Chains A and B, each alone.
Chain A
Amino acid sequence: EVQLLESGGGLVQPGGSLRLSCAVSGFTFSSYAMSWVRQAPGKGLEWVSAISGGGGSTYYADSVKGRFTISRDNSKNTLSLQMNSLRAEDTAVYYCAKSLTGTTFRSGYCFDYWGQGTLVTVSS
């Protein structure tokens, strides 16, 4: 059974940092690109970042470029998102998501499994 379990969310002040993790099981982690998608309270989905299966290629939305860093540890089946210089508008539930197919983001642009999400609140 495929499982994705996010952790690391919480309350942080503007300008602060937070690191999210996503522990996965039930599939060959290194064979799939992975993404982070967020959803602000009462709002729609927003893609945040993606990483190729091997970890060598990373992609970011303009809204987080330069502030967030995605990474993965294929030996530990873990996806991470380091979030720096956080802003109020980063407040959202953050989901990790497994690409349907492929190790590249282009081939794996859609997601067949999602975690339950972890809430990040940026507020003073």
Chain B
Amino acid sequence: QSALTQPASVSGSPGQSITISCTGTSSDVGGYNYVSWYQQHPGKAPKLMIYDVTNRPSGVSNRFSGSKSGNTASLTISGLQAEDEADYYCSSYTSSGTLVFGGGTKLTVL
């Protein structure tokens, strides 16, 4: 199972919006609404930010939103804040009954 494709890095200024893409295939992202996104700060465990493509767990800011079109899922962060600077990973359930992660995207807040 190949990793989902994410851009290696994105950046934005405080207050701006950014979008991170996550491209897979019809056997994973495109075939299921089982896409999730995680935020990971250095030295910390990942934190679930979005699940089932668009849903936010309790306690996650509504500045974070998710969407999907075809085989590509996206995470949008609006009103960028300094504390949003982190690595972001997408993941998807697959037709093989496994889970695949994206390679990760480093978000820099300028």
Q: Which residues in A have their C-beta under 8 angstroms from that of B98? A: 47, 59-62
- Determine whether B48 belongs to the interface, using a CB cutoff of 8 Å to chain A: yes
Find the B residue at minimum CB distance from A101.
B51
Question: Given A106-B93, A109-B93, A110-B36: A44 and B101 within 8 A (CB)?
Answer: yes
Chain B interface residue number, banded: 20 to 34
B-facing residues in A103-124 (Cβ within 8 Å): 105-106, 109-112, 114-117
Contact B48–A50 (Cβ < 8 Å): no
Choice from B48, B89, B93, B97 contacting A112 with Cβ under 8 Å: B48
Contact B101–A100 (Cβ < 8 Å): no
User: How far does the Cβ of A64 sit from chain B's closest Cβ, in whole Å?
Assistant: 11
Choice from B1, B47, B104 contacting A45 with Cβ under 8 Å: B104
Q: In the complex, A62 Cα to B2 Cα: how many Å? A: 11
A-facing residues in B61-110 (Cβ within 8 Å): 87, 89, 91, 93, 97-104
Choice from A50, A60, A100, A114 contacting B46 with Cβ under 8 Å: A114
Given A45-B46, A109-B34, A109-B36, 15 more pairs with CB closer than 8 A: A44-B3, A44-B89, A45-B38, A45-B104, A47-B98, A59-B98, A61-B1, A95-B46, A100-B48, A100-B51, A100-B57, A106-B34, A109-B91, A110-B52, A112-B48
- Residue ranges of A at the interface with B (Cβ–Cβ < 8 Å): 35, 37, 44-47, 50, 59-62, 95, 100, 105-106, 109-112, 114-117
